[in-house]
Structure 1
Amino acid sequence: MFADLPRWSGPLPVLWDSTVTQRVGRLLDGDVKVAWFYGQPDTSTFRYRVANVVEAVNSDRSGAMSAAWFSDDDIPSVLSVVPRLDAIVLARHRYGGHVRRLAATAERAGVPLLFDTDDLVFDTSYADLVMDSLGRDPSVSLDWDVWFSYMGRLNATLRLCEGALTTNQTLRTALSRHLPTGSVHVVPNVLNRVQQDHSRELWQAKEASGYARTGPVTIGYFSGTPSHVRDFTVAAPALARLLARDDDVSIRVAGFLDDVGPLEEFRDRIEFVPFMHYVDLQRSIAEVEVNIAPLQHNAFNVCKSDLKFFEAAVVGTWTVASHTPSLDRAVTDGVTGRLARDHEWDGALAEAVDLARDTQRYAATMRAAAEHAHDAWAWDSVAGPVREAISAHLAGRAQLAKGSPTSPVASS
C-alpha cells in the first residue's frame, strides 16, 4: 500500500450549496442558456452528469454558453425563466407533475427538451436484465414495482424530449431507437475541478516518494453504488485463489459490499471502508496498488462508462477491468491498465501484483497513464462536447423549422 499520502486540506465541497437565485443569475449570463434538471442532488449521477458539466460550461470565460442546475423541487420557482432559455436537459429525471409543467412551459416557449442518461434504465424491456444485474430477488413483487415504475417514468420523460446526451456510443445507439436520427450526442464523463486537483496532488506525492510502499500489495474494489454488487463475483474466485497462494496480498473494499463469496475465509485480510466523500475516495484509491473494475457481461453493463478506470489512473493506480466498449477505448491494454475477460482474471491479477512489486516499472507505467488520464478526462474538457452537442441540436432544429430537407444534426 502507498502510505503517507496527503489529505485534502480544504473543506470538502458540497455540490448543491448554491441558492436558486444564484443559479438563475449565472444561467442568464451567457449567450446560449442551458438548464439541467435532476430529481434531487446526490453524489453519483448528479455529480458526473449535471454538476461537473455545469461547472465546466461556466468555466468558459467567453460567455458563449451559460448553465445551471435545478432540482425537481425548484421547477415551480424557475418556470418564469424558461422562455429565456435555449435548451433544457432532463438528466435521468423521472416524469411527474413538476416535469409535466416544465415540459408544457417549454413547449409553449419553443424551448427544446433533451434527455440525459448514464445507464440503460430508460426502457422497461430491460427491466428483467437490470433486476438480474442488481441481484434482486425475482419473487419479490415490490422490486418489480420499483424498477418498472422507475424505468417507466424515465421513459415517459424521454418521450417528451427531441434529443439526448449520453456517456458513450453504446448508450447512444440504444437511445437512438427512441429519438430522431442524429439527435443523440455523446458527452463523456470527466472529473470535476476539486477531484482532479486532489488527484494530481496524490499522484505527485507518489512520484515524489518514488512510489514508496509498505506492507502487502493491496487490491481495491470501489463499488460506488449497489448496482455493482453482483459484478464483484466476476473477480472474486480469482481473488480467492490469489490470496490462497500469496500471503502478501490484501483486499480493500469500499462502498456497498458485504457478501464476499469465496473470499469469506480470507475476511481477516479484507479491509472494509464505508461509503465516503468523492474527494476522500480519490485518496483511498491512490493508496492501493491495484484497482479492479469487474463487470458481468450483459447489455446493461456494456453501457457503463470508463470512470472506474480514469478515477484510478489520475492518482497513479493500476486498474484491471472487464471488457466493455468504453473501457476498451479508454484503456491501452497492458500499457495504461489491463483488460480481462472472465477467464483471464487469474493471470491479470498475478501480472498486476508483479508490477506493483517492481517499483521502478510501476512508477514508469503509472507516470504515463496518469499524464494521459489528467489530459483526457480533465475537468474542463467536457465543455467542448457539450457546446458542440447543444449547438448542433439547435442548428438542426432551426433548419427543420425553415423546412430544409437536410439537417446537420442528422449527420453528427
Structure 2
Amino acid sequence: MFALQTPPVPYADPWLQPLSTRLAMLYRRKMRVAYFYEEPNNSTFRYRAYNMAHVLNDDAAGHVSASYFFLSDSERFDEIADAADLLVICRSRYCHRVNGLVTKFRARRKRVLFDVDDLVFDSDYAHLVVATLGLDVTQNGLWDDWFAMIARMGQTLKLCDGAITTNDFLAQKLADYSGLPVHVVPNFMNREQLALAQSVFAEKERARFAGNGKVTLGYFSGSPSHRLDYAIVESALAEVLALRPEAEVMVVGYIDHGPVMREFAHRVSRQPFHDYVNLQRLLGTVQFNLMPLQSNAFTDCKSELKYFEAASVGTLSIASPSFTYRRAIRDGENGYLAKAHEWAEVILRAMDRSDAYESMAQEARSDALSKFGWQEQTGAVLRALQLAR
C-alpha cells in the first residue's frame, strides 16, 4: 500500500446550480449546446453531459458554449429550445416530457443528438444485460422493468438525428440498431479529478513509488451489479493471499465476499462508496487496480474509465481483455491483461515485477492524460456535434 499524506479534499456536487446559472452558461457564446439528462448523478451525467459542457466552455478560443438541463426544468423547455442551437439527450428514457423537449427543438428546425454509454437501447439485448448484472429473474416485474427501460431508451434514440457514444464497439451497435450516423467521444477525466490526481501522483513519484511493505490489490465497485465480475477474480485473490503474505485486498463499494475469502478476512479491508474526486486519492493508495469483466457484447461496450482513473494517480491496472481494455492496456507496458483462467498467474507476475512498477506507472499516467484528459477532448466533442470549424 502507498501510505499517502495527500489529504482528502472538501467535496460538493459541482453541477448543483440553479437554472438561472445554467442558462447563463448557455448564453455565453453565439453557438450553444444544451445537454439533457433526466436528473444529475455522478456517473453517466457527469461523464456525458457535465464533462462535455465544461470542455466546450473552458475552450478560451472556442465559439461554442454549453450547459445542462433536467426533467425538473421542464417548465422552461421553451426558453431552452429558443436559446440553444443543438440538443444532446444523454441516456434518457422516452416520456411525454422528453418527447415535448425534442418536439420544441424540431419545431425550431434544430438538430437533436442522442448520447449513450451502455448497450441499453436495443431490447434484443435485454436478456444479456439482466444475466450480466446477475439480477434475480424470479423477481416480480423484473422483465417488465428492464424491457420497458431499454425500449424507452431506444424510442428516444429514434427521435434523434444522430448519436454519440464512448467507443467503436458500442458505436457499431448503435449504427446497426438505428441506422443513424454515430460519433465517438470517449469518457474522460475532468478538471476536479485531475487536480487531486496530480497531487497524489506527485507524492508517489517523490517517494519513488515506495510502499509500506504490503502489496494492496484493489477492487473498486460502483454498484452491487458487479457481483459476477468480482466472482471472476475472487478465487485468484484467495490463491494469491495464500501464497504471498505481503498481499492484501481492498474492496471499495458494494461487493460481498464469498466463502473462499473467509480465512483471509483479516487481510481484506473495506471502504465505503467515495465521491468521484476523493476516489482518486483512494485509487492512489493501492498498487494494483483489478478490473475483471465477464466476456460478452454488453461488457465489450464498457468504457476505459476504470483504467484511466487509476492510471492518472500512478496505479497499475490488471484487466480482463474486453474490447476497450485490450486497446487501452499494452500488457506489461502500462498495465496487465488477464483472461478468466489467468488471474492468479498474472497478479503474481505483476507482483514479481516490482522493479518495473515506477516506469510502467509513469507510462500509464502519460497515456491516460494524453487520451482521456479533459484538455485533449475539444476536437472530438466538436466533431461529434458537427460544430468543428
| TM-score, normalising length: structure 2 | 0.96
Shift of residue 379, structure 1, vs aligned partner: 1.7
Q: 1:401 maps to what in 2?
A: none
Q: 1:266 maps to what in 2?
A: 264
Structure 1 letter corresponding to 2:137:
P
Q: 1:352 maps to what in 2?
A: 350
Map residues 379-398 of structure 1 onto 2, 5 A cutoff: 379-391=374-386
2:338 aligned with 1:340, yes or no?
A: yes
SS state of the match for residue 380, structure 1? helix
Q: 1:406 maps to what in 2?
A: none
For 1:31 and 1:175, locate their aligned partners in 2 and report how far apart those are by CA, in whole Å: 31
Q: 2:302 maps to what in 1?
A: 304
For 1:257 and 1:80, locate their aligned partners in 2 and report how far apart those are by CA, in whole Å: 44
Over 3 Å counting, the alpha-carbon distance change for 1:178 and 1:31 in structure 2 is farther
Work out which of the residue numbers 317, 320, 345 in structure 2 matches 1:319: 317
2:35 aligned with 1:4, yes or no?
A: no
Per-residue CA deviations over 1:69-90 (Å, capped at 9, x if unaligned) read 1111113213223033221111
Q: 1:105 maps to what in 2?
A: 104
Over 3 Å counting, the alpha-carbon distance change for 1:377 and 1:349 in structure 2 is same
SS state of the match for residue 375, structure 2? coil
Alignment RMSD, CA only?
Answer: 1.6
Over 3 Å counting, the alpha-carbon distance change for 1:31 and 1:226 in structure 2 is farther
For 1:130 and 1:373, locate their aligned partners in 2 and report how far apart those are by CA, in whole Å: 28
Greater CA deviation, 111-120 or 80-89? 80-89
Structure 2 letter corresponding to 1:236:
E
List alignment gaps of at least 5 residues for structure 1: 396-412
Map residues 8-407 of structure 1 onto 2, 5 A cutoff: 8-9=8-9, 11-181=10-180, 183-355=181-353, 358=354, 360-391=355-386
SS state of the match for residue 22, structure 1? helix
Contact 2:216 2:287 in 1 (8 A): yes
For 2:175 and 2:106, locate their aligned partners in 1 and report how far apart those are by CA, in whole Å: 22
Contact 1:233 1:261 in 2 (8 A): no
SS state of the match for residue 271, structure 1? strand
Structure 2 letter corresponding to 1:364:
S
Contact 2:56 2:62 in 1 (8 A): no
List alignment gaps of at least 5 residues for structure 2: none
Structure 2 letter corresponding to 1:385:
A
Structure 2 letter corresponding to 1:268:
H
For 2:266 and 2:141, locate their aligned partners in 1 and report how far apart those are by CA, in whole Å: 36
Per-residue CA deviations over 1:106-151 (Å, capped at 9, x if unaligned) read 1111111111111101111111111111111112132222212211
Contact 1:5 1:206 in 2 (8 A): no
Percent sequence identity over aligned pairs? 38
Per-residue CA deviations over 1:8-33 (Å, capped at 9, x if unaligned) read 44x31413221111111111222321
Number of aligned residue pairs = 389
Structure 2 letter corresponding to 1:65:
V
SS state of the match for residue 284, structure 2? helix
Greater CA deviation, 74-83 or 282-291? 74-83
For 1:382 and 1:70, locate their aligned partners in 2 and report how far apart those are by CA, in whole Å: 21
Over 3 Å counting, the alpha-carbon distance change for 1:33 and 1:175 in structure 2 is same
For 2:202 and 2:258, locate their aligned partners in 1 and report how far apart those are by CA, in whole Å: 33
